[in-house]
Amino acid sequence: MASYPGQIPAGGEDIIRIKVNTRGYGGRQLNKQVVVYTNDPDQERIALTISGAVNDLVTLSPARVQLTGVVGSDIHQTVFITGDASFPFRIVDVKATYGENIAFDLKPSLESGKNAYCLSVKNTKRTEGRYSDTLTLTTDSPAKPQLTVRVYGNIFLSPESAAR
C-alpha cells in the first residue's frame, strides 16, 4: 500500500510512504516493486524495489490441521507453536470459528529449549462428511496479536460399513 502527497512542484520534494504486507513471507526473502509515475518526459516511470529478509516470528508446525479418518476412530493432530527468541509472547485465548466438529486444548511446552505451545485438535464429528474450521489464537503481542490455524476434516465410513 502506498501513500503519496499528491502533486509535487517541479524541483520540489516530498515523501512517498510504502507499506508492505509481509504475511506468509516469514523466514524468506521479500522482493516487491512499486512504480512511481511522473510528468518528467525523461523519467515517466521510476521503479522502486523493496527487498529484505522477513523474520519468522512464530512457527506453526504443521501450519494447518488435517483430520482424516474413519467414523468413530480417534482422529487428532498436534500443532507445535514456537516463537523466535527475540519475540516473546503468550497465547491468552483460543477460539474456534464454528467449533461444531472439533475439540482443542492448548498447553505450554518447551520445544528445543524455547518457550512454545502444543495445540491438540481432535475430531468430534460422528458422521461421515467434510468440514473446515479456523482456530484463532490471541496473543499478548502487539506485533502479532492473532495467529490462525486452519482445520480441515474428512471423515468417511469404513469399507465394511460402506458395503452394507
C-alpha cell recorded at residue 33: 516493486
Strands 29-37 and 17-18: unpaired
Peptide bond into 62 cis (omega under 30): yes
- Distance of alpha carbon 156 from alpha carbon 103, whole angstroms: 19
pTM of the model: 0.77
- Distance of alpha carbon 91 from alpha carbon 59, whole angstroms: 13
Those residues whose C-beta lies under 8 Å from the C-beta of residue 9, and which sit 6 or more positions away, are none
C-alpha cell recorded at residue 50: 523493496
Residue 16: per-residue pLDDT: 82
Fold (CATH) for 58-158: Immunoglobulin-like (2.60.40)
Backbone φ and ψ of 33, nearest 5°? -120, 145
Q: Which is nearest to 72 in space by CA: 124, 131, 133, 130?
A: 124
| Domain assignments of the chain as residue spans, ordered by start | 12-53, 58-158
pLDDT digits (tens, 9 = 90+) for 14-47: 888 888 988 888 889 999 999 988 888 999 999 9
Give the end-to-end CA distance of the chain in Å, rounded to a whole number. 58
- Please report, in tens digits, the pLDDT of each residue of the chain (164 residues total): 666 667 777 778 888 888 898 888 888 999 999 998 888 899 999 999 999 999 888 999 999 999 999 999 999 999 999 988 888 899 999 999 999 999 999 999 876 667 799 999 999 999 999 999 999 999 999 988 999 999 999 999 988 766 66
